[in-house]
Structure 1
């Protein structure tokens, strides 16, 4: 039977091994997402692609801040947020902002696909509206997350020997608990679920129409648009599944925050919460691999762009090498 120390040691080693892998894999995936959705002729004209591009950028920023700081803290005992107040404030502002930003873009993408499933001529489907919504959501969460900058600061432990970057106890702690439950735990997964289910229902009804009467074909429905829809629905299911443990924990923690808890119970709760955050990191890194596995169109476009840029880079390399050799020959002759 493992002791508490052995459980903590196992969790620490697990984080130290998995976090660098998640960061590298997630950054590569986000890079390829941006390339495919921005350069592919089959995707780049869709308004939904804009949301997926900025969601990928948001997830990459999240991976390069939140898990990276956690890795430095666990592996090398480097925690600048415990030394400087302004870093402490910016750290938790970044955590709140970068966690909500890509999720909000995923919700907008789900709403976009819902409107497409009802009518492909809705105003919300235009790229100009999509850019405005992207900017609005970014500014919205920057304003909402200001409370992290105001209240988070360096706190001294009860024994007076340790400095921690944390929120103060009291009314703000209560507010933060309910804020986390309602905003992070419930609202985002709920909105994703609602629009994902509605879109799936409309898609199923559309397919039934084609099955029952093959003459009825809605030519305006592009195959690539439905490919994005399938990718998005699976991504939403994946996101909701990986967010569910944190949602359950936040609800439980909010309901039991005034209970008297034993040391062992606190250890179990913290252990479960830490493992749940690891699922959040995996979710931030998984979108590209979900798209690649679930969409033949995405895979084809990825292969095409890979071949295209490989050939292009080879041509550039050959041209530069030829020019360099020509200059060297002229210099030797001279």
Structure 2
């Protein structure tokens, strides 16, 4: 096996392995997230509304986008490569949904800043009503931001892993082909990550200031809950940073060398880096439940409550039947007096 074939084989194995892990753990974790964040005790907290919105989008990523990448990256099957309308819709839909998942976490960081602020006007923005409005506004904004994908993407010939020309869904050649990767980086990664870091720093600053304030017992209890949610948010932001930075670096490197003439070996290397970076990014969409369980006592307690509610519904029925059988057996064994 040549070095090019070895690199291409490694890219496929990495894509398949990580994608399957994301699908399995993502399915279990995100469905449990959905159950927990729709509980009445969480629906009154604005930060949980952002988590719930992100969970819904992440389900689309795990169930649709990740399997699609397996088809394309592992089995070389692209359902959109011969259908231009489908090609445009797929690129547009995937771009919007991936960005929304990241932006909803950025909005949760903003909500954390409002929640921890000493400014009364800012604290009024820490509400479920405002959270729902800003989620809708953000969704409409990103729908508009990526609308150009429906116009300028088309079916074109590109080099595959072995250097052969194959049809693929690509941006129109020229200025747009250079513009769109940077545009996607700004809206999918750089801008939301900047907002996460900005509001994260401002929130930490607000928390340090609040330590010197005298607060009531009720407010202390609410602050304890908010601090747990902020800790859950912080670990989610760190995970997003770790999984998106390789993707940013890879996309920038490929964009800067777009016009370079490359050998088959260099094309295979670029494909390996791109496949690895692309398949790593959905990890942050898949593991939020496990991060929340590890870092959030309030989340763990709600999970335990749900288990405590549902588990007896499965077990006592069998126990009841077993108990009834034992009573029947005892009654049958009794010696009745002679009449």
- TM-score by structure 1 length? 0.84
Shift of 1:194: 1.2
**1:161 offset after TM fit, Å?**
6.0
Asked if 2 retains the 8 angstrom alpha-carbon contact of 1:184 and 1:247, the reply is no
The answer to whether the 8 Å contact 2:236/2:284 transfers is no
Deviation at 1:75, TM superposition (A): 4.3
Larger RCO: Structure 1 or Structure 2 (Cα < 8 Å, ≥ 6 residues apart)? Answer: 2
Query: What is the distance in 1 between the residues matched to 2:301 and 2:175?
Result: 53
Cα distance, 1:201 vs. partner? 2.7
Structure 1 residues 262 and 6, CA gap change in structure 2 (3 angstroms): closer
CA RMSD of aligned residues (A): 2.7
**Maintained 8 Å contact 2:232/2:295:** yes
1:291 shift after superposition:
0.5
Matched-pair contact (CA < 8 Å) for 1:185–1:250: no
Name the larger-Rg structure: 2
2:323 paired residue number: none
Report if the CA contact (8 A) 2:7-2:269 is conserved.
no
Quote the Cα distance in structure 2 between the aligned partners of 1:317 and 1:56: 35
Decide whether the 8 Å contact of 1:38 with 1:44 is kept in 2: yes
Corresponding residue of 1:328: none
What are structure 2's unaligned runs of at least 5 residues?
321-339
Q: Which deviates further from its counterpart, 280-289 or 138-147?
A: 138-147
- Alignment partner of 1:111: what SS? helix
Write the deviation string for residues 191-220 of structure 1: whole angstroms up to 9, x where unpaired: 11111122123224434x37xxxxx34542
Q: Who is 2:337 aligned against?
A: none
Q: 1:121-270 counterparts in 2 under 5 A?
A: 122-157=123-158, 162-207=166-211, 209=212, 216-217=214-215, 219=217, 220-221=219-220, 222=222, 223-270=224-271
Preserved contact between residue 82 and residue 154 of structure 1 (Cα < 8 Å) = yes
SS of equivalent residue, structure 1 residue 64: helix
How far apart, CA to CA, are the structure 1 residues paired with 2:116 and 2:281?
29
Partner of residue 25, structure 1? 25
Q: Tell me the TM-score normalised to structure 2 length.
A: 0.83
- Whole-Å separation in 1 of the counterparts to 2:109 and 2:47: 8
C-alpha distance in 2 between matches for 1:78 and 1:46: 43
CA 1:241/1:74 → structure 2, altered by over 3 Å: closer, same or farther?
A: closer
User: What displacement does 1:259 show?
Assistant: 4.3
3-state SS of 2:156 partner:
strand
